[in-house]
Structure 1
Amino acid sequence: MTRYIINRLIKSILSLLIVVCIVVGILYKLVPVSKIFLQDEAYKKLKGNPKIAYKLSTMESLGYLDYVTIPEMCALKEGGPGCTENGSDEQKRVIKEFEEDGYKVQQMTESGEGYGAIYATKEYGVFRLVWNYLSQMVQIDGPNRIQDPNNPDLERGYSFGTGPNGAPAIKCSGCKYKYQLYFNGRFPFIHQNAIKLFFGNSYPTNQGIPTLDVISQGQGQLKAREQTFPTGEVLKSPVDQFTLSYKSELDHLDQKRYTDNYANAQTVHENPSMISTSYIFGVSSLILTYLFAMPFAIAMAKNKDKLIDKIGIVYINVLIAIPSLAFIFFVKYIGVSFGLPDKFPHLGFGNPLSYVLPILILGLLSTPSLMLWVRRYMVDQETADYVKFCKAKGLSRQEISSRHIFKNAIIPIVNGIPASIILAISGAVLTEAVFAIPGMGKMLPDSIKAMNNNMVITLTFIFSALAIFAVFLGDILMTIVDPRISLNLKKGE
């Protein structure tokens, strides 16, 4: 088993890296750059040279190219006096050196602000683009992470202590984050800030916010709660002290609350994040699917060609034949006639009625395939030799069905259970769109439409990682259900 896990882990990491490389190459090289600015209102308002400078600086921040202004060029090449003066010998030397390094040196030609300014750009090739992206993706925090010239005497190192909730925690001075490892009451209960994934900032939607923060932070109004700050001050605040990070300059409020430079923190919101929202709906509908489909399918298999089997087959065929969108609006129309909200925001997160229709629709849409396969697997097992042997031994039909047929037929279904649970995080595009649910369902298509490259890469990575992890858990679960299945292949097998 250990060998299998190690091999799968290595293959999974390589697969994810390949996926990221392909997506980065496609987005950065095959999609026209001009499209990424279509939804940037700030870009639309600019004109002339400022617009060119804004575009180049944005492309640099997104990783398309290296953009250097003439003052930066002079500093990098140690240009002497007069380097920033157009036409000077020193400037010509610096420009020549940049051109030899592969840069394209240009001049602002639009009249008005910035006219005549020299700048240099160097577009990255696909391999450099991929390398730049991968090199920043995993960020490891440590005592030497913060280099603040305004705080040369900053103590560096780890220490054991307690968090804001009084639970044990590992703290760090000199790291970006104060709390490296801590415990709280939120799943998975043990949290860390030492290693983080970074996929760049979101752009143009949610501009400047890291993509993972966009989908993982709460939504709605801030949730203030009474808490004690390091200085001893007690007040109601939405600040999450477990996310405290280093801040170079402290303002008056920071000095009243904190005893060191760790004063930046995320805030807590009233409503769940996009990921949590989709997961709530996904898992709830999945439970409904299995509670309805499994008993129905087993009853169909036990009573093959009888009334309940025929009713089930009609139900399966009807739901498969009806387009999903038509089914959603049909159930929605019926639900609204009973007083249920037609849009999730009408009653919001706090009202149970907001969840009824979306969960019911998601659950029912998933039942036909599960019923079909459970019935098929159980019917196929009916003709197996071990069933004939059990009948010869005098076992009742009920005993054969529950103790033998179901146990063997459920193995392929068990393999897909982890995938169903884990991939519930991806949300349902149609259902979330129809009911205006602020979840993950619309994130990927909306990000593609908005040309939000970093968000597309982030979501692709998350969905790919979840799919790979789900398959792995499915294999492990099969060995638990049926010990005859071994994941350790011997030599020659």
Structure 2
Amino acid sequence: MLKYAFRRILGMIPMLLLTSIIVFSLAKLMPGDSLSGEIDPRNTNPQYIAEMREKLGYNDPMPQQYFRWVSNFIEGDFGKSTRFKIEVADVIGERLPNTILLGFTSILITYLLAFMMGSYAGRKPYTIGDNLIGGINYLGLSIPSFIAGVFAIYFFSFKLGWFPSNGSVDIGVTEGTFDWWLSRLHHVLLPAFVLGFLNIASYTQFLRNDIIENSRKDYVRTARAKGTPESKIYNVHILRNSIIPLITYLGFDIVAIISGAIITETIFTYPGLGQLFLQSVGVRDYPVLLTLTMMFSFLTLFGNLIADILYGVVDPRIRLD
């Protein structure tokens, strides 16, 4: 297991290197740069802008700019944000806790709801409750996250007033207090549910179908023939085998959270890394944009590694050599 994980980690290095080349090239091929919007005689002297371009190395050949950026990146120097005028690490560090809270809450909601609904539908298939859960699942699979986010804000925020429509915490609460944490939880619940809406539907349907399939296996018939209580058959034999593939999705959920948070955070104006990423693209904040892209790429590769390792852990039939 350790040897397999070590080989996979080493294999990430060329993948990240290739990603860095592609991302850096695409960023530099975008029209304009972080100083383009400032060329306005009413705001900034064009001569000063030209001097800043020379100072920041924007006029150097692209290969020279790339190797300078990669060298600094490997040394832990991510540069300074051209928009916020502070270190990139400080900009990301300010938003990172919000995204971690959003991702963790979304995964928790996803697995809890999927487990409860999938278990019920699998144990009582073709009933009214199963059909109702199935209808909700198909609705969740058919609605894009950005549409679900808009409808969630309209109904739960504007109409019912149950959840706030934006931000991460109420204004005026003291940081670190119980009210502050309660406010953060109140703000994160709705975007976390929207972020995990698609996974809730797919995991529920997957667990339900797997429970029905496993309930027809020979080992279940044998357990019933021996007089094993029905609750033990479902909880020990059927549910335990059905939940194994679901656990392996945890690694892929890291990837889904990353990609989905960009849209969800923007819709809810939630101050996380996803919203920061889109803002960096709009203002050509190259240091923040490149650092976030490399972070997302690493987390994607790491999520795939976690998924493979979990599959080998929960299913002893799979050997990781």
TM class by shorter-chain length?
0.7 to 0.9
Q: Which residue of 2 aligns with 1:2?
A: 2
Deviation at 1:7, TM superposition (A): 0.8
Q: Tell me the distance in 2 between the aligned counterparts of 1:482 and 1:469.
A: 20
Q: Which residue of 2 aligns with 1:31?
A: 30
Equivalent residue letter for 1:401? Y
Q: Which residue of 2 aligns with 1:334?
A: 155
Deviation at 1:380, TM superposition (A): 3.4
CA contact (8 A) 1:278 1:440 kept: yes
Equivalent residue letter for 1:322? I
Q: Which residue of 2 aligns with 1:167?
A: none
Distance 1:428 1:44, change over 3 A: farther
SS in 2 for 1:441: helix
Is residue 344 from structure 1 mapped to residue 167 from structure 2 by the alignment? yes
Q: Which residue of 1 aligns with 2:177?
A: none
CA contact (8 A) 1:344 1:354 kept: yes
Q: Tell me the distance in 2 between the aligned counterparts of 1:379 and 1:38.
A: 60
Q: Tell me the distance in 2 between the aligned counterparts of 1:355 and 1:320.
A: 22
SS in 2 for 1:448: helix
- CA deviations 1:351-374 (Å, max 9, x no partner) are 254344334444545411221222
Q: Tell me the distance in 2 between the aligned counterparts of 1:25 and 1:44.
A: 32
Is residue 206 from structure 1 mapped to residue 84 from structure 2 by the alignment? yes
Is residue 134 from structure 1 mapped to residue 70 from structure 2 by the alignment? yes
Q: Which residue of 2 aligns with 1:57?
A: 55
Equivalent in 233, 237, 247 of residue 400 of structure 1: 233
Q: Which residue of 1 aligns with 2:13?
A: 13
Q: Which residue of 2 aligns with 1:449?
A: 282
Q: Tell me the distance in 2 between the aligned counterparts of 1:407 and 1:346.
A: 39
Equivalent residue letter for 2:18? I
Q: Tell me the distance in 1 between the aligned counterparts of 2:6 and 2:41.
A: 48
Equivalent residue letter for 2:167? F
Q: Which residue of 2 aligns with 1:297?
A: 118
Q: Tell me the distance in 2 between the aligned counterparts of 1:464 and 1:356.
A: 26
Equivalent in 145, 148, 153 of residue 324 of structure 1: 145
Q: Tell me the distance in 2 between the aligned counterparts of 1:9 and 1:402.
A: 36
Equivalent residue letter for 2:88? T
- CA deviations 1:437-469 (Å, max 9, x no partner) are 211221222222222222221111111111222
SS in 1 for 2:232: helix
Q: Which residue of 1 aligns with 2:320?
A: 487
Q: Tell me the distance in 2 between the aligned counterparts of 1:425 and 1:338.
A: 29
Q: Which residue of 1 aligns with 2:129?
A: 308
Q: TM-score, normalised by structure 1?
A: 0.56
* Count of aligned residue pairs for this structure pair: 309
- CA deviations 1:265-314 (Å, max 9, x no partner) are xxxxxxxx211012112212321222222111011112222222111111
Q: Tell me the distance in 2 between the aligned counterparts of 1:458 and 1:437.
A: 20
CA contact (8 A) 1:276 1:425 kept: no
Equivalent residue letter for 2:50? I
Deviation at 1:405, TM superposition (A): 2.5
Q: Which residue of 2 aligns with 1:240?
A: none
Equivalent residue letter for 2:67? W
Equivalent residue letter for 1:12? M
**Higher RCO (CA < 8 A, seq sep 6+):** 2
Superposed CA RMSD: 2.9
CA contact (8 A) 1:43 1:54 kept: no
Q: Who wins on radius of gyration, i.e. which is larger?
A: 1
Q: Which residue of 2 aligns with 1:477?
A: 310
Q: TM-score, normalised by structure 2?
A: 0.83
Equivalent residue letter for 1:371? T
Q: Tell me the distance in 2 between the aligned counterparts of 1:343 and 1:437.
A: 6
Distance 1:426 1:199, change over 3 A: farther
Structure 1 segments unaligned to the other structure (5+ residues) = 66-122, 140-196, 217-272, 489-493
- CA deviations 1:4-54 (Å, max 9, x no partner) are 1221111012211221122112223x333x343333368873446444323
Distance 1:423 1:309, change over 3 A: closer
Give every structure 1 segment of 4 or more consecutive aligned residues whose post-TM-superposition deviation is greater than 6 Å.
41-44
Q: Tell me the distance in 1 between the aligned counterparts of 2:2 and 2:52.
A: 52
- CA deviations 1:162-184 (Å, max 9, x no partner) are xxxxxxxxxxxxxxxxxxxxxxx
Distance 1:42 1:212, change over 3 A: farther
Deviation at 1:486, TM superposition (A): 1.6
Structure 2 segments unaligned to the other structure (5+ residues) = 174-179
Q: Which residue of 2 aligns with 1:124?
A: 61
Q: Tell me the distance in 2 between the aligned counterparts of 1:423 and 1:365.
A: 10
Q: Tell me the distance in 2 between the aligned counterparts of 1:282 and 1:297.
A: 22
CA contact (8 A) 1:479 1:485 kept: yes
SS in 2 for 1:283: helix
CA contact (8 A) 2:35 2:49 kept: no
Name the structure where helix makes up a greater proportion of residues. Answer: 2
CA contact (8 A) 2:195 2:260 kept: no
